[in-house]
Amino acid sequence: MVDIQLPQGAPEEVVTQAFLREVDLSLFGVKGSLSLITLDNGMDHNRPNTFGPQSLAALNDAITAAQASSSLAIAITGKPFIFAAGADLSALSFLNDKSQALAIGKLGHDVFRRLGEGKKPTFAFINGLALGGGLEVGLHCKYRTMATTTFSALPECFLGLVPGWGGATILPKLIGPERAVQVIILNALNNNTMLKSKDALALGVTDAVFEPADFLENSIRFAAQVLNGDKKIERTDFIGDDAAWNKAIATGQAAITKKYGGADIASPRMALELIAAARKNSLGEGFDAEDKALAQLTMSDPLRASLYAFNLIQKKRKKVEGAPKPALARKVTKVGVVGAGLMASQLALVMVRNLKCPVVITDLDQERVDKGLSYMQSEISKLVEKKRMSPETAARLQTLVTGSTDKKIFADANFIIEAIFEELELKKALFAELETIISPDCVLATNTSSLSVTKMSQGLKNPERVIGFHFFNPVAVMPLLEIARTPSTDDATTATAVAVGKELKKTMVIVKDSPAFVVNRLLTRFMGEITDAIDEGTSPEVADAAMKPLGLPMTSLELLGLVGPGVALHVAETLNANLGERYKISPTMQAFVKENVKTFYIKDEGGALSPNPAAVALLKQGDKASTSEEVRLRALTALASEARMMLDEGVVATPAEIDLCMLLGCGWPLHLGGILPYLDREGISEKVCGSRFHQPGVASLQ
């Protein structure tokens, strides 16, 4: 065993104890006992079992006692509904020496491998959540059962790590390289997709699945059947299947390239290398390779950045900075949505699914209303087809959604959100009309992406109940919600908006009412530098490649196609009018909108992108070309400058809120930590603003 001394200031470990008891197997037809180890950190379900040095030592002691006993086999399970969530990551950012990181990796291997290398058969009774090292301790056992309610995953690549306690070596040998790549690479990079127990069974990750009510009893029975020879578990040898290994590695490489646009991101690359090496490595050699990879990644800025971003997201999901007391929120029993287009219909759908109260929509004519209602009914029906909603629930929700062309239908609504055309005078007129119909305390929310919420409320009798409620598209998927307070917005309105946002399961940031709030303001500034470079004479291919080294989810011109030139131009014009000439109006974008060219790229039948000839024909370029590096530095400089101005203006209170908005609102990569820590690490913050946004050490080794 290795004695690990964590650096001073590291958080105190919540120790997961390993309680050992002997279970008589005679009731299951086997003479003898089973040594059952139960993991339990003594906390409630909000704190899953984790493995730090002391927890690993406790498990090691339990394994020693179990191996020394007269039992026939050893099994390990977790506290109610939770198996284990893996390594205790809270201390990783405090490590200051590679030898410490190497020792932590080796310690986990030294303990877990005793389950796979001892003389007694071992079983993992995975009774609930099993993530990372929690799943890996189960993989070291010879047999596994899972409760039907279990979710499992190896999320390490999502966080900037690799499965470093056996997963990258054992899993390819157990279920084959293609399936291992699916679990370790593809699922992790797809927003950390988890396996349901039925998926784990189909993949071969577990050998049996039982209902939770009698899970432990059935798992012990399963173990008894294995021990007495009534149940045989066959394993496949994947070593000689050349085609499978080649295909798996190619699939993994393609997924990494697609996710990060060709940027060299260490953790998924190293995980793929470990999977490939598992074919020829012995378990011991594979574990040693995992130790080295884990230590290298643990002492890197990308991991520190990922942990900063991950912890920030988890924290802000629970607490909204600057939110009024929840008790001030008014009860919402009926929601109104003005508009029946795609965005409005998405808003109405997410409202009815989560609030489960009547939702009414309106539009200019019945045809549009019917189209919006049809969309929502269809989407609810699809959820039933996919078995994500029961027919009974779907039928109830479908009856809660109604529509009309008469806004008087909103008379008894408590919360109304508009999603009509982005024209200030139209929105002002709408709110003035609604004020003659609704009660004085009904919240009036706007989904505007760039217009002044304050101006929308001017002239109203009750401007205090107007608030910005800006979603991102697609509404059901994107987690961020920007809540914009005007100088008149009162605490009761804000508290009600926050309460609704929580019901919608959104992560919220309260922002000052200012042009384009946070995400669209920064995105427009950044995108403007790219299009400005093209207008000046830089080839689109060179300009578009500028940000690829960062590993953003898509290139700048791909993002333009997603947003749409019309929307991009409208936001740029709004910001130009309100914030000045640093937001230039691109003649190329004007030409795109005039000629109805919606994207710079087109896809062929195979999904490959190529320049759209109609877009290329409209380029109006000068003769001042830049390199990709020059364009990248220009764009990052603009981001630093704009972020500094936003903080000085009080758009948000802290740099962390800007990081959160960009992480959740535009997919800023987790491995960069956040936009501002990245600018700090690159030295751009100090060069542009004279100081860092964060204190040294945030999301880096500094």
Sequential DSSP letters for 644-696: HHHHHHTSSSSHHHHHHHHHHHS---GGG--HHHHHHHTTHHHHHHSS-SS-T
∠ CA 3-56-224 to the nearest 5 degrees?
A: 145
**Mean pLDDT of the region 121-128:** 98
pLDDT digits (tens, 9 = 90+) for 568-619: 999 999 999 999 999 999 999 999 999 999 999 988 877 788 899 999 999 9
Q: What is the pLDDT of residue 3?
A: 61
Q: What is the pLDDT of residue 667?
A: 87
pLDDT band per the 50, 70, 90 thresholds, residue 437: very high
Distance of CA 572 to CAs 110, 484, 525, 578, 689, Å?
A: 58, 19, 8, 10, 24
Q: Where in the chain is the domain with CATH 3.40.50.720?
A: 326-512
Q: What is the mean pLDDT of the chain?
A: 94
Residue 2 has pLDDT above 60, yes or no: no
Q: At how many degrees (to 10) do helices 283-298 and 266-277 cross?
A: 170
Could you give the CA distance from residue 128 to residue 652 in angstroms, rounded to a whole number?
Answer: 39
Q: What is the pLDDT of residue 582?
A: 94
Q: What is the DSSP string of 539-593?
A: -HHHHHTTTGGGT-SS-HHHHHHHH-HHHHHHHHHHHHHHH-TTS---HHHHHHH
**Mean pLDDT of the region 69-87:** 95
The answer to whether the CB of 100 falls within 8 A of the CB of 92 is: no
The answer to whether the CB of 535 falls within 8 A of the CB of 622 is: yes
Residue 1 has pLDDT above 60, yes or no: no
pLDDT band per the 50, 70, 90 thresholds, residue 4: low
Q: Which of 229, 274, 220 is nearest to 248 (CA)?
A: 274
Residue 338 has pLDDT above 90, yes or no: yes
Could you give the CA distance from residue 481 to residue 472 in angstroms, rounded to a whole number?
Answer: 7
pLDDT digits (tens, 9 = 90+) for 464-507: 999 999 999 899 999 999 999 999 999 999 999 999 999 999 99
pLDDT digits (tens, 9 = 90+) for 21-35: 999 999 999 999 999
The answer to whether the CB of 301 falls within 8 A of the CB of 267 is: no
Q: What is the pLDDT of residue 325?
A: 97
219: tokens are 């798992």
Distance of CA 688 to CAs 209, 517, 581, 696, Å?
A: 57, 22, 18, 17
What fold is seen in the domain 524-650? N-(1-d-carboxylethyl)-l-norvaline Dehydrogenase; domain 2 (1.10.1040)
**Mean pLDDT of the region 292-314:** 91
Residue 521 has pLDDT above 80, yes or no: yes
Least confident stretch, 298-312, 439-453, 463-477 = 298-312
Q: What is the pLDDT of residue 488?
A: 97
pLDDT digits (tens, 9 = 90+) for 679-696: 999 999 999 999 999 998
Could you give the CA distance from residue 267 to residue 632 in angstroms, rounded to a whole number?
Answer: 24
Report the CATH superfamily, name and number, of domain 17-299.
Answer: 2-enoyl-CoA Hydratase; Chain A, domain 1 (3.90.226.10)
What fold is seen in the domain 326-512? Rossmann fold (3.40.50)
Q: What is the pLDDT of residue 94?
A: 79
pLDDT digits (tens, 9 = 90+) for 240-250: 999 999 999 99
pTM assigned to the model: 0.89
pLDDT digits (tens, 9 = 90+) for 262-276: 788 999 999 999 999
Q: What is the pLDDT of residue 262?
A: 76
**Mean pLDDT of the region 523-545:** 94
Q: Where in the chain is the domain with CATH 3.90.226.10?
A: 17-299
The answer to whether the CB of 209 falls within 8 A of the CB of 197 is: yes
Comparison of pLDDT for 116 and 262, the residue scoring more: 116
Distance of CA 595 to CAs 556, 569, 589, 590, 598, Å?
A: 21, 13, 10, 9, 9
Written as one letter, the residue type at 321 is: E
**HEC states along 485-510?**
ECCCCCHHHHHHHHHHHHHCCCEEEE
Q: Where in the chain is the domain with CATH 1.10.1040.50?
A: 524-650
Could you give the CA distance from residue 668 to residue 683 in angstroms, rounded to a whole number?
Answer: 19
Could you give the CA distance from residue 124 to residue 492 in angstroms, rounded to a whole number?
Answer: 51
Would you report the helix, strand and coil content of the chain in percent, each value rounded to 5?
A: 50, 15, 35
**Mean pLDDT of the region 78-95:** 87
Could you give the CA distance from residue 702 to residue 687 in angstroms, rounded to a whole number?
Answer: 17
Tell me how crowded residue 428 is: count the other CB atoms within 10 A of its CB: 17
> In DSSP terms, which residues pair with 574 in a beta bridge?
none
